[in-house]
Amino acid sequence: MEHKQGDYPADIIISLHDLPVGKSATVSSIQAAGFTRRRMLDLGLVPGTRVKALRISPAGDPKAYRIRGAVIAFRKEEAQQILIKYKGE
């Protein structure tokens, strides 16, 4: 299928928490500070890292993500501090 210039949806910046299950995106920036920021960086969450939302708990929080081959769960308040570039549908 051929695409003309401008046919592709633009990247939008959303929080990791808003990434739909089954979709992937790229880390844009980390808004957290202190120990939480250090933990996120230690997990490999640096700009350019691909993340995929895998599943969500029955209660809706936390949500599990594949990050650099590992499955890591973040609660809503943590995931909202991670901004991602997401190419919508």
Q: How far apart are CA 49 and CA 80, in angstroms?
A: 16
Percentage of residues of the chain with pLDDT beyond 70: 89
Quickly state the pLDDT bin for 1 (edges 50, 70, 90). very low
9-43 tens-digit pLDDT: 678 999 999 999 999 999 999 999 999 999 999 99
Looking at residue 71, its amino acid is V
User: What are the boundaries of each domain within the chain?
Assistant: 10-84
Virtual CA dihedral for 21, 84, 8, 64, nearest 10 degrees?
Answer: -10
- Residue-wise DSSP of 46-61: -TT-EEEEEEE-TTS-
**Model pTM score:** 0.83
Question: 10-84, superfamily in CATH?
Answer: Ferrous iron transport protein A (FeoA) (2.30.30.90)
In sequence order, what E strands does the chain have? Answer: 11-15, 24-30, 50-56, 63-67, 70-74, 82-87
